[in-house]
Structure 1
Amino acid sequence: MTQSRTIDDQEVEKFAAMAEEWWDPFGKFKPLHKFNPVRLAALRDRLCAHFGRDRFQKRPLEGLRLLDIGCGGGLVSEPMARLGAEVVGIDPADRNIKIAEAHRRESGVNVDYRTVTVERLVAEKEPPFDIVLSLEAVEHVADPAYFLSQGAALVRPGGLMAVATLNRTLKSLLTAKIAAEYILRWLPAGTHDPRKFLKPAEIAGPLRQAGLTVTEEVGFSYNPLFDSWRESDDLEVNYLVVAHRPEAADPPASRS
């Protein structure tokens, strides 16, 4: 029987070819740099609420172990480490990991970067994490349901998983694909394949099957007039699914 795998070799090669531009706010990842502050704030607030932390503290995620799946150049891994989390960032493209590691050394942030797939971590029995993040990665993998199940397997009881991606809608096709890549030239042509965009149910379903409880679906909206992003109820384009693994049930009381 052929073992499932998450990586899509063409997608890995595509992002590896752009690796040197991960940290250039005016380069090929410019839209991600604009989007990142709103996305990070949404994550910070929900992580702090879930773990009972004060989001106004300098390092509110202190003592929590976090996995960033598909970390790319580290645009999420580094901020999460600055918030105090013990971060492991993984990516199948070694070129991305080398860029992330070089920037980590320059910035002095402590992140454990590894060139590895999520299924390999599971196979090697990596200890579970308090937090598992998969941000704008699932739409680039070969088998999204399997990818999500493997990420969920690494969430400890009481832990949280957050998945961000693009919805498969007409609005998303027009804005995230046609406008962003071919009209406004915000992204290189071919960055996204709209056939691989996923509806929220296609994220929530595999997470539930893996034993997680989906607690929230959050949208993000872009305002072209002010060239800014904000959190919203609109899931039509960019959205985030938040889920947690329930604590293990208490054992039944013994009978005398």
Structure 2
Amino acid sequence: MQHPSVIPQEIAHFNALAARWWDESGPMRPLHMMNGPRAAWVVQRVRALVGPGVEILDIGCGAGLLAEALAKQGFEVLGADAGAEVIEAARSHAQGQGLNLQYRNATAEELVAEGVKFPVVTALEILEHVADPVAFLRTLADLLEPGGVLFLSTLNRTPQSFLTAKLGAEYILRLLPKGTHDWKKFITPAELGRYCREAGLRLADTAGLSFSPRRRGFVLSHDLSVNYLAMAVAD
């Protein structure tokens, strides 16, 4: 089976970070800083468009930052990731919290082969790490129920993102391990809209995730020049 979501080197890179994924001052610090606003953006739209307590599939869940945040908001969540070590870290962290949350070491393609479908799918900070973004979006569309909603987040390919998300975050401020991102694989909103159409999805909403020095964290904004969120609907 073809796995357009899997690049072995990417899986190995993130597996190597599994033990420190939940360390808020560790290598996943930017994800911790983003997690509150990105989860809030998703939750607000899921409740408005689909309903409370629905089942959500979180693809590329890593060690579970978003999955746990969604489960704590009352959703039934399945987190799936191709990395075995990050899934073990996710399970360990969730243990004893009494959340309606399960994890699987599986790819999106494997779930499609099982015929499972969900009203909501999230795939945050993964699109820039897959082998074939269009094929991956088609796979995600296959995991959606009719009228289902897909949430994405990725990085825009702009001079600003090169300076801040690549050069700044990895080499100057060292917020991320070197080699975390390949700037050439960042995706513009226009490209994402086209990719979604090719996958049978309609890009319905976007929002920026911008760093606020005053708040020392990320906030939702209208600025899509670096990090941005997107919502697509299965027509």
TM range (shorter): over 0.9
Question: What's the counterpart of residue 97 of structure 2?
Answer: 107
1:154 aligns with 2:106: no
Give percent identity, aligned residues only: 45
Question: What's the counterpart of residue 249 of structure 1?
Answer: none
Q: 2:55 aligns with which of 48, 57, 65?
A: 65
How many residues end up aligned between the 2 structures? 235
1:41 aligns with 2:45: no
Q: Deviations over 1:147-185 (max 9, x none)?
A: 111011111112210110001111000000111111111
Matches within 5 A, 1:55-204: 61-62=52-53, 64-126=54-116, 128-204=117-193
- Structure 1: distance between partners of 2:202 and 2:143: 14
1:219 aligns with 2:208: yes
What root-mean-square deviation, in Å, do the aligned CA atoms of Structure 1 and Structure 2 show?
A: 1.4
Please, which runs of 5 or more residues in structure 1 have no aligned partner?
Answer: 54-60, 247-256
Q: Deviations over 1:54-99 (max 9, x none)?
A: xxxxxxx31x111101000000111111212211111000001101
**Does structure 2 retain, via aligned residues, the 8 Å contact 1:129–1:155?**
yes
Offset of residue 143 of structure 1: 1.0
Q: 1:236 aligns with which of 217, 225, 230?
A: 225
Offset of residue 140 of structure 1: 0.8
**Secondary structure of 2:43's partner?**
helix
Give the TM-score normalised by the residue count of structure 1. Answer: 0.87
- Structure 2: distance between partners of 1:78 and 1:117: 19
Offset of residue 4 of structure 1: 5.0
Question: What's the counterpart of residue 22 of structure 1?
Answer: 21
Q: Which structure has the greater CA radius of gyration? A: 1
Offset of residue 224 of structure 1: 2.3
- Structure 2: distance between partners of 1:237 and 1:77: 23
AA at the equivalent of 2:152: V
Offset of residue 106 of structure 1: 3.7
Offset of residue 229 of structure 1: 1.6
